[in-house]
A and B are shown apart, each in its own frame.
Chain A
Amino acid sequence: MKKVLIVAQPEDSCSMELLGVAEVFQPCLIQVAIFGDDLKLSKEKWTPWADRILGFEHPQLQWFDTDFAARVLAPVLLEEMPDLILTSRTNPGLELLPVLSGITGFPAFSDCLRVRFEDGDWIADKAEFEGKVIHSFRLPVGEVPICMSVRPGSFQTPAAIQKKAADYQLMSVPDHCPPRREFLELLDSSAEGVDIRKSKRLVAVGRGIEDQEQLEVAESLAKALNAELASTRPLVDQGWLEKSRQVGTSGVTVNPDLYLTVGVSGSFQHMGGIQGKPFIVAINRDPKAPVFNYANVGMVGDLFELVPLLEQEILKLGE
């Protein structure tokens, strides 16, 4: 039977999705490594889902020191030799996974989007060139343990996995492993004004919005979509929106998945601030607006009619 070891990061809300990867390898033995200075809650969380839980409890793990975690986990991996070692490709995952690979010498696969079993081979997909292409790799499952990070949101937590309550094993943290990273301070960088660059969904407003009150239409659409509001220059110039929301050659450059424009004409100065290959939906009164040259889907019409309708439909979806 295949052995899958899930490295559950403490702050990772998507770690349960890793079970979706494990599901592809069913039937398999699922081990979960958990970290922290108090493991009670995560132990409870994982017990119904795993065969075995490896608990690493140590004051240094109060905040997730990936260097420390990798050094205590790696010897266990070398002993257990699981077929697959999974973790989410969060920011700490970007530290943890390759370091595990480097210490153990197991090959690593980064940012997995999909895994399938095809003609006797395990095939994994990842995105390259900022999502412009999908690249497939054959995983040498069975030959060597593989360290794999998984893009959050790519897999779904399975409805149920037939598992008895997991064995819990508290792992000893060796003494010869002094922490090497001293945590000084936690900083909230988003406090320095919105950073729309981090948002994967953006609703961009342009001059089709004629006064400040009309902004509300777009704002509530953004809310429904769980998106941030982006803007073209004129609205920022008018002082209706913060400068940090201005996309374009003289504003910020964004790289979202969805870019929904409302009353944006699509000048080069604005569109030049969009990187990658987002799905662009454009709403504009003018069928000749250049924004339609960039958009994937366009709607020609009155934004005050279309936008509230769209918002309603999206809210319905959420229900």
Chain B
Amino acid sequence: MSRLQLDNLHLSRGGHTVLEQLNGRFQDGAITALIGANGAGKSTLIAAIMGMLTPAGGQVKCTVPKERRAWLPQQLALDLSFPMSVEELIMTGTWPSHGAFKGYCAAHYRRGREIMSRLGISQLAHRQLGELSGGQRQRALIGRTLMQEAELLLLDEPFANVDTDTVDILMDTLREMARQGATLIVVLHDMEQLSQLADDVLLLAGGHGQWVNPERLIEQQGGVAPRAPRLPITLAEFSHARSD
């Protein structure tokens, strides 16, 4: 039984159908890449999985409690001029257990420090978010989801505007989270990153979704992992592509 399942899902925005007849299971303890051109419905699907968009039909079956679902939007969605330090940001990840009132204890601060050292941002603990580079910020945001002990993690282009060192560290961290049983869904545009990271791929195009085997996808792209997928990708290329 998988934690997250799509059952004949139909999603619409502003009266227009964005996605329909979407079915399938996301593997537990694995990383699923969500790919598709701009406007293919990736963000809409994420919103539906997070429970922020009511499906027009069908349903998202998710057994992960709300507070263990984490969504890391693209950085633009955050107000990074807000005065907050890296450590404070990571500590807000305790919201599921602490809510709005409970104080943090030493054990939580210790855990926060462990997370920062794992992500290589210990020296930035007291720096303000506004002073950080894109890569440093992304590490801090991933730190918050680690603090949250997320079981279902959705990431929207986590490697955009991020340096290669950070990409390596984040990829290791995400793989580690998957190994420990979390279900991860990552929006990606870069096929090279996809080939390194994804265990499974959900391709969105033309209002429909198609599960694709990552190796098959790379093969289809000419056997090499190019910097970006060749667009437009059509679903016909991948019919019966998934090996299960």
- The judgment on whether A and B are partners is no
Chain B interface residues toward A at CB < 8 A = none
Chain A interface residues toward B at CB < 8 A = none
